[in-house]
Structure 1
Amino acid sequence: MTDLETRVVPPHAPLLRRAAPALLGYAAVRALGLVALAVWSAARGKSAHTLLTARWDSLWYTRVAELGYGYEVRLPNGDVHSNLAFFPLLPWLERLLHAVTPLSYADAGLVVSLLASLAAACGIFAVAERVYGARVGICAVLLWAVLPVGIVQSMAYSESLFTALAAWSLYAVLAGRWVSAGALAALAGLTRPVGAAVVAAVWTAGVVSFVRERSAARAQGAHEEGHAPVWRRALGMLLAPLGAAAYVLWVGHRTGKGPLGYLDVQAGWRNGFDGGYAFARFVAAKFTSIPSALAGVGLITGVALLIWLYVICVRQRQPVALLVYTGVVLALALCASSYFGSKPRLLMPAFPVLLPLARALARPRTSRSVLVTAALAVVSAVYGAFWLNGSGPP
């Protein structure tokens, strides 16, 4: 154990106290990003507040919170963009906060996202600390904060809320709190379609634990363990898919198209799962000129880096719940058939893929780790301000 861990993170301190250095560092990085965005936006005559609360998906969430479901846009090419594509938990929270405070629906969404991002940072710390120790936990949170598209964590989007629920569900799995894991997975399933990744993690970890315990009991010639722990695990697995299943079935009923009605809604947005074929064509199309070819090389490099990091996660024997969760998030993000500009933010919840980098960042002296993180934070802040004032996260 390092001196830093001994001094800052007493082994028996409450989790929130142990996570305090990570949360303070995270808040500092995000504050830097918001300051950079405000300065850049003012220089361009734009409103940073508008960029954070009233563009792209945030507008759709706000409309659901204010008016409910049923709004759609019909495009000239025949596509139908329905707000049924957006899962309900974030709009519900926006509506609740608007009802109990003077905040507008848009500002309520911003507050929910900011609070959720802190909860996500704490959850990421809890997961990383349990697997690799407190120092790696701090580094994992800071790496998540300095992602190039980290500014999305401060927008009225659902990424922060989903990551918070996913991280705490995974932590509950690692801690053997199966009912909590299932309940949080159900809430994650009410937040984004990728909630399926959390459900898969809970189910896989539950099945693996059943098999291991049964095998151990047979090897020792012992009777099965008490029914209560097994019952709680089964209940957690039962709860996990209820959120996503309830919303998907409700959409199917509302559209009159049965259980697969939600897929039709997504098809109206030209979004689906094609195994990565459309994304591969998108990347290949970049190699038509030298400037766009550089972008194509960058995309290929980024995908290769993600796959390489995931392979390292497997080799380092991360818990099966983390591996399954990360694998499903990566697959759903990279193999979606549309909205290629959204892929960076869709990959943001795959935080376990950062753990190999966090372990590497935790090895040097604290001063070196701080310098590296500070440099990355500046780059992330500048890029986030540039990105959000430009193409931004569709």
Structure 2
Amino acid sequence: MPPTATEAPLLPKARRSRPAPGTAITGIRTRVTRSLRRAAPALLAYAAVRVFVLLVFGVWAHKEGHGIWPALAADWDSKWYLGIADHGYERTLGTEYDANNLAFFPLYPYLVKALAAVTPGSRATVGLILAGVCSFPAAWGIFAVGDRLHGRRVGILLTFLWACLPVGIVQWMGYTEPLFTAFAAWSLYAVLTGRWVWAGALAALSGLTRPTGIALAAAVGLCGLLALRRRFSARVLTGVLLAPLGWLAYVSWVGLRLHRWDGYFAVQRLWHNELDGGVETLRRMREFLAYDSTPELFLVMVTVTLLASVVLFLLSLWDRQPLPLLIFTGLLLVITLGSGGVYFSRARFLLPAFPLLLPLALVLARAQRRFLVLGVTGAVLCAAYCGGYMILVWPSAP
């Protein structure tokens, strides 16, 4: 029997309200594919820079008689992460400087352990491959932020500049910076596009990756609270609550493991890595700039990077970058410059602070072709030389 006049209009509407099976997955796949195609030039530029730097490093290492794989996969901090993957964490605080692995956050070494259990090869090889693979989602996220704010050309240049950082070779080493930068870039992009649950979840994962994850959690949390003041949203609140959970979880676990509430901070003091308001940073800068007649080239590069980062942050304020980017980079600078720990690793600590490169990307985007070619060529050559020098000449950790 045909439907009545009042029933007829309801039937088509009811059918339309039921999504076809797989529609959501298909939609996500379509968006990801479209985004990846748009980002393809940036990812190709990133890969080209990193391959060139690796080739230069390989030739340099061969002439010096150094092995390429050990230097990239199993040296300095990589040893600590591999030790955690092999033997787990310490159970006591101890008193010896530079000897407690609780200073290193767990997500990367546990991922290495899990992947090594189901794949061939050593854990060092797995860790190196994992870092290299993670650098591409990081580059993709950096492009997405730049593209969102200023268009495709700026997004490509922003990704390129991140690849050309003087310490950029760390992006293809057994370190946590690529994984952390991937979480940071996509979390910030999620905030910019109003995807608060994703932003909070990625910030939580970053808090399990590096101690500076607290900077990303603060960026998501503070911006979320401002959004809640304007209009309440359960999704925004969820993102705000999720953001600090990873960092808080690990810091709390260390406290329980060491049976003291300040356990993690006691470990940082053991590494001489507590905040001192920038006293040690200023002392080292003054030492290199005023008193050292023949300063070490790598330390000069670190000092120039730190000073340039401050200038770029001021330019970012002048350009009125979105608040989440300013909070994230500002807190990274505070943590990096305000720490009393080792000086020579601070350029690497700022590797995830990619929004600082936006003013340079904007300048390059407006430059004439010849100046753009000169800038691009100089950046690539600088990255190749600094990367090789940092690993093969500089005698300490990058």
Under a length normalisation based on structure 1, what TM-score does the superposition of the two structures give? 0.88
Match of 2:338 among 335, 338, 348: 335
Cα deviations by residue, 1:105-151 (Å, 9 ceiling, x for unpaired): 11111011101111110000001111111110000000000011110
The aligned residue for residue 28 of structure 1 is: 48
- Any gaps of 5 or more consecutive residues in structure 1? 1-10, 215-226
Superposed displacement of residue 284, structure 1: 2.4
Match of 1:85 among 91, 99, 103: 103
Task: State the percentage of identical aligned residues.
Answer: 45
The aligned residue for residue 116 of structure 1 is: 134
Superposed displacement of residue 92, structure 1: 1.3
> For residues 255 and 12 of structure 1, what CA distance do their matches in structure 2 show?
44
- 2:397 partner amino acid: P
Query: Equivalent residues in 2 for 1:156-305 (5 A)?
Result: 156-211=174-229, 213-214=230-231, 230-258=233-261, 260-286=262-288, 287-292=290-295, 301-305=304-308
**Alpha-carbon contact 1:114-1:154 (below 8 Å) kept:** yes
> For residues 307 and 342 of structure 2, what CA distance do their matches in structure 1 show?
20
> For residues 205 and 143 of structure 2, what CA distance do their matches in structure 1 show?
20
Looking at CA atoms only, which structure, 1 or 2, has the larger radius of gyration?
A: 2
**Alpha-carbon contact 2:268-2:274 (below 8 Å) kept:** yes
- 1:140 partner amino acid: L
Bigger mean CA offset, 293-302 vs 156-165: 293-302
**Alpha-carbon contact 1:73-1:81 (below 8 Å) kept:** no
**Alpha-carbon contact 1:124-1:137 (below 8 Å) kept:** yes
Superposed displacement of residue 350, structure 1: 0.7
**Alpha-carbon contact 1:72-1:81 (below 8 Å) kept:** no
Superposed displacement of residue 257, structure 1: 1.0
> For residues 374 and 321 of structure 2, what CA distance do their matches in structure 1 show?
28
The aligned residue for residue 3 of structure 1 is: none
> For residues 162 and 296 of structure 1, what CA distance do their matches in structure 2 show?
24
Return closer, same or farther for 1:52/1:358 CA change in 2, 3 Å cut-off.
same
Superposed displacement of residue 285, structure 1: 2.7
**Alpha-carbon contact 2:167-2:348 (below 8 Å) kept:** yes
Under a length normalisation based on structure 2, what TM-score does the superposition of the two structures give? 0.87
Bigger mean CA offset, 88-97 vs 350-359: 88-97
**Alpha-carbon contact 1:117-1:154 (below 8 Å) kept:** yes
The aligned residue for residue 5 of structure 2 is: none
Whether 1:393 and 2:397 are equivalent positions in the alignment is yes
**Alpha-carbon contact 1:153-1:160 (below 8 Å) kept:** yes
Question: SS of 1:257's equivalent?
Answer: coil
Return closer, same or farther for 1:82/1:295 CA change in 2, 3 Å cut-off.
closer
**Alpha-carbon contact 2:84-2:109 (below 8 Å) kept:** yes
Cα deviations by residue, 1:148-201 (Å, 9 ceiling, x for unpaired): 111011100001110110000000001100000000000000000000111011
- 1:49 partner amino acid: W
Match of 1:373 among 371, 376, 380: 376
The aligned residue for residue 37 of structure 2 is: 17
**Alpha-carbon contact 2:302-2:346 (below 8 Å) kept:** no
The aligned residue for residue 83 of structure 2 is: 63
**Alpha-carbon contact 2:305-2:347 (below 8 Å) kept:** no
The aligned residue for residue 324 of structure 1 is: 327
Superposed displacement of residue 372, structure 1: 2.3
Cα deviations by residue, 1:319-356 (Å, 9 ceiling, x for unpaired): 10000001001111111101100001001111100000
Return closer, same or farther for 1:57/1:73 CA change in 2, 3 Å cut-off.
farther
Question: SS of 1:81's equivalent?
Answer: coil
Cα deviations by residue, 1:331-389 (Å, 9 ceiling, x for unpaired): 11111101100001001111100000001111135565344213311221122112111
Superposed displacement of residue 282, structure 1: 1.8
> For residues 338 and 207 of structure 1, what CA distance do their matches in structure 2 show?
32
> For residues 138 and 173 of structure 1, what CA distance do their matches in structure 2 show?
20
Whether 1:95 and 2:113 are equivalent positions in the alignment is yes
- 1:36 partner amino acid: V
Superposed displacement of residue 66, structure 1: 1.6
Q: CA RMSD in A?
A: 2.3
Q: What count of residue pairs does the alignment treat as equivalent? A: 366
The aligned residue for residue 70 of structure 2 is: 50
Whether 1:353 and 2:356 are equivalent positions in the alignment is yes
The aligned residue for residue 4 of structure 1 is: none
**Alpha-carbon contact 1:61-1:90 (below 8 Å) kept:** yes
Cα deviations by residue, 1:74-104 (Å, 9 ceiling, x for unpaired): 78xx425211111001011101210111021
The aligned residue for residue 306 of structure 1 is: 309
Return closer, same or farther for 1:73/1:246 CA change in 2, 3 Å cut-off.
closer
> For residues 81 and 91 of structure 2, what CA distance do their matches in structure 1 show?
11
Superposed displacement of residue 12, structure 1: 11
- Any gaps of 5 or more consecutive residues in structure 2? 1-30
**Alpha-carbon contact 2:227-2:236 (below 8 Å) kept:** no
